[in-house]
């Protein structure tokens, strides 16, 4: 009689964040409770080839009971894999198709947050093929400096901080290497805060709030994953009780607005006047032992191993609820 659940650890992916996923997958595999779960590693290489055929994952083959898709960025965190697993009738950890797609696309995400009345940074959208605006025009609209980033990417890949006209065109071209739609955003002077969210439906919890102090000009890919001294993580953040409560309330509001499920990390700016602005929402944030999402939960009393356990429980609970829904009249 089977007494362990088989968990497919899906990692890698055809994304610029491939290496980040490898780190996350290794840490999850090392920390997962082996008395409850049997991990099966399923790698997607950079060409999109799977380590196991999809038919081998199907429930009638009994290869896996649930999938933990530790994939970051496009073709993994954007709803594509989530849709594939849903069509295959396989439970999976994290946000569903809609929330994954919406949160991956910073343009759509920010417009939905704005529609709900939640505070966001000012931005301008630019599509591939459009005439580039002059830096003078952008600085008049959004101020200077500005951030330029691909609309669909994470881990600070393709992001540039632009301080003058000479940096503007190279930054636009760099961002367009990763996406056909890019964001030009105002620079918010202030502190960078992050809050982890866990749960589903009406049962949503928030972690303590953490602060990131980059030693680089901003929290770049190198600062996150290459330079060991790229940033200082302060957990909990040294902020007032009122600000902590405000960040946690906004994190839950963003989580609900974007129809998230399971987990998300919500990133904020704390302005000099004390107001809080939502930067973005990540539905599958970095999940290594030193990543902010699990570290915030650890500081809140939830261990890395128990966090993995809870996420799998949430995935199975959602799957059972969805099975009871009618699919025909």
- Residues acting as catalytic residues: 17, 155, 225, 265, 267, 280, 282, 286
Starting at the edge strand found earlier in the chain, the sheet holding 276-282 runs 231-234, 203-214, 190-200, 262-271, 276-282
Instruction: Find where tokens 């866990």 sit.
Output: 198
Q: From the centroid of its chain, how far is CA 280?
A: 8
Residue 321: how many other CB atoms lie within 10 Å: 11
In this structure, what DSSP letter does residue 3 have? -
Q: Give the Å distances, CA to CA, from 24 to 29, 78, 114, 242.
A: 9, 17, 32, 33
Give the orientation angle of helix 97-104 with respect to helix 80-87, to 10 degrees: 170
Phi then psi for residue 110, to 5 deg, are -70, -35
Nearest to 268 by CA among 258, 256, 254, 257: 254
Q: What gap in Å lies between CA 216 and CA 69, rounded to an integer?
A: 30
């Amino acid at each position: 009689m089977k007494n362990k659940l088989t968990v497919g650890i899906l990692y890698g992916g055809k994304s610029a964040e491939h290496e980040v996923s490898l780190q996350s997958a290794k840490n999850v595999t090392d920390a997962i409770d082996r008395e409850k779960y049997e991990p099966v590693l399923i790698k997607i290489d950079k060409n999109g080839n799977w380590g196991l055929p999809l038919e081998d994952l199907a429930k009638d083959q009994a290869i896996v009971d649930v999938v933990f898709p530790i994939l970051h960025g496009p073709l993994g965190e954007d709803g594509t894999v989530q849709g594939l697993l849903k069509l295959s009738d396989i439970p999976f950890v994290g946000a569903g198709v809609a929330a994954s797609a919406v949160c991956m696309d910073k343009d759509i995400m920010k417009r939905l947050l704005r529609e709900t009345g939640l505070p966001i940074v000012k931005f301008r959208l630019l599509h591939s093929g459009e005439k580039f605006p002059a830096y003078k025009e952008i600085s008049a609209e959004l101020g200077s400096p500005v951030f330029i980033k691909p609309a669909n990417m994470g881990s600070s890949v393709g992001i540039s901080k632009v301080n003058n006209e000479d940096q503007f065109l190279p930054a636009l071209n760099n961002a367009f290497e990763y996406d056909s739609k890019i964001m030009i955003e105002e620079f918010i002077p202030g502190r960078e805060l992050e809050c982890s969210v866990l749960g589903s439906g009406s049962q949503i919890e928030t972690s303590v709030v953490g602060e990131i102090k980059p030693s680089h000009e901003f929290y770049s890919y190198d600062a996150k994953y290459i330079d060991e001294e790229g940033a200082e993580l302060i957990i909990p953040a040294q902020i007032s009780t009122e600000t902590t409560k405000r960040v946690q309330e906004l994190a839950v509001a963003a989580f609900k607005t974007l129809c998230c499920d399971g987990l998300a990390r919500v990133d904020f700016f704390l302005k000099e006047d004390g107001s809080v602005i939502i930067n973005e929402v990540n539905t599958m944030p970095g999940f290594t032992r030193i990543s902010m999402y699990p570290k915030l939960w650890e500081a809140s009393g939830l261990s890395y191993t128990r966090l993995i356990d809870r996420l799998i429980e949430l995935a199975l609970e959602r799957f059972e609820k969805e099975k009871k829904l009618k699919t025909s009249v």
